[in-house]
Amino acid sequence: MTVEAGSEKLRVAIVDDEAPARSLLREYLSALPDVEIVAECANGFEAVKAVEEAAPALLLLDIQMPGLSGFEVLDLLGCDVAVVFVTAYDEYALRAFEVHAVDYLLKPFSPARLKEALGRARQRIGRPRQAGLEKLAASARPPGEWPNRLVARERGRVHVIPVDDLDLVEARDDYVCLRSGGREVLKQQTLTELAAQLDPARFMRVHRSFIVNVAKIARIERYAKDSRLAVLLDGTKVPISRAGYASLRDHLG
């Protein structure tokens, strides 16, 4: 890989909570004349900030990190930046990455393997991911497991919401509103996409615009001939469609 006259360097941010891993990546990347390291991040929060401030074209992103995982970082960033996972993840997850055409480096890796991943990443920069994040994350999860929290970025601030505390989700144009304990946080995502991330045994889409945490339902009220409301423990009233009521009735027995 050589730099051609007038070509731009690949702007890369390193994201790994382990200092030795960041040091090794820095060493390998420094030997490549067509790469510029624009940020080094020790956690996911720093990564989100670095993307906003340093505008890297590519993240070399670890998956298992304290604070925010690599998946959660991607969830917050959407498709604004290309990603190569740098991971010691298990074989099941690696198969998911391959199916969804997401590049990865399995630790430990060689300089040649890194160079190969960078070459593939260059070809995909600026193109949309071939699979949505929710499909990738679902494929990487062991069967029967679901996320225990959701993340959202609003007005430059990162919110982490435990799924157990989530009362309901409401569709609002191109966003969803996550409501938890009286607090509302907007997240740029469709209701259908978010529904795919939640355990269907615990969260039900009772209306085209609402998903509710079944454990938060205090009672169901009729307010018209064929119309019903779910009254939550905090008193919030949520409309229920006919299909939503049928699903709830089957679920609650």
What CATH number does the domain containing 193 carry?
A: 2.40.50.1020
CA angle 118, 46, 169 (to 5 degrees): 100
| Residue 206, domain member (yes or no) | yes
Structure tokens at 137: 């994350």
**94-118 residue pLDDT tens:** 666 665 556 788 899 999 999 999 9
Q: Which residues contact 214 (CB under 8 A, 6 or more apart)?
A: 202, 203, 204, 248, 251, 252
Position 224 in a domain:
yes
Domain span including residue 31 = 10-140
| End residue of a domain, out of 95, 121, 140 | 140
Q: Is residue 125 part of a domain?
A: yes
Task: Provide the pLDDT for residue 193.
Answer: 87
- The count of structural domains within the chain is 2
Q: Are residue 36 and residue 112 in the same domain, yes or no?
A: yes
The DSSP secondary structure of 143-168, one letter per residue, reads TT---SEEEEEETTEEEEEEGGG--E
Same domain (yes/no): 212, 90: no
Task: Please identify, among 78, 106, 140, the residue that sits at the C-terminal boundary of a domain.
Answer: 140
What is the structure's pLDDT at 80? 65
On whether residue 16 sits in a domain, the answer given is: yes
Choosing from 98, 122, 140, the residue where a domain stops is 140
126: its two tokens: 């600026």
Prediction pTM value: 0.80
Low-confidence ranges of the chain (pLDDT < 70): 1-7, 78-80, 92-102, 126-141, 253
Q: How confident is the model at residue 5, as a pLDDT? A: 38
* Residue-level pLDDT at 133: 58
Pair 45, 136 in one domain: yes
Amino acid at 190: T
By the 8 A CB rule, do 54 and 39 touch? yes
Q: Which of 47, 48, 38, 46 is nearest to 11 (CA)?
A: 38
Cα torsion 15, 19, 20, 23: sign:
positive
- The DSSP call for residue 137 is H
Q: Are 151 and 85 in contact (CB under 8 A)?
A: no
3 inside domain = no
Radius of gyration of the chain (CA): 21
The number of beta carbons lying within 10 Å of the beta carbon of residue 146 is: 14
Q: Are 33 and 125 in the same domain?
A: yes
Number of H helices, E strands in the chain: 8, 15
